Amino acid sequence: MPIPVVRAETFYLPPPTQPRDAWADVPAAALVWRWIEYRMGRRAVPPEDTVDEVCYARINQNRWLADCSSCGSAQVVSPADPRYACTECTWGWCTLAFPADVPAVEAGLLGLKPGLRNWWHPDDPRNPDRPLPPGPDPGPLGEDL
């Protein structure tokens, strides 16, 4: 059976001294905050405010990720809870854009080795495969005609 694409709820797990379902009541987007508290040994308080911004989720080496538009840090996210707040700079909660058909995107990657499973949202301006908008023909030497 192929390895599924990793989501926050399967990545941010409680310490081995606790039952595996100890954090089952924590929403997927908040799991990273609980995990940071455990790993760093200090209190990590999520921001209370929201920001009027949409971030695009992507799959990078078999993990759903979101990148902070403020500091560039990234964390594992989940389509089950499409929001994101940065644990590094505490940039407020923003909405995450996932594809309309998450299972189809994940299924389309299962034939690849996990380290080669990468996907970008087609509307993400950082998508390296996003087609360039039509513009003037640059001509053979790069000058506009």
Q: Report if residue 83 sits inside a domain.
A: yes
Number of domains the chain contains: 1
Q: Report if residue 41 sits inside a domain.
A: yes
Q: Report if residue 121 sits inside a domain.
A: no
Burial of 48 (0-12, 13-18, 19+ CB in 10 A): exposed
Q: Report if residue 122 sits inside a domain.
A: no
Structural tokens at position 71:
């500091």
Q: Report if residue 131 sits inside a domain.
A: no
Q: Report if residue 143 sits inside a domain.
A: no
Q: Report if residue 30 sits inside a domain.
A: yes
Tell me the whole-structure pTM to 2 decimals.
0.86
Domain interval for residue 41: 8-116
Phi-psi region of 119 (alpha: psi -120 to 50; beta: other; left: phi over 0): beta
pLDDT tens track for 82-130? 999 999 999 999 999 999 999 999 999 999 999 999 999 999 999 998 8
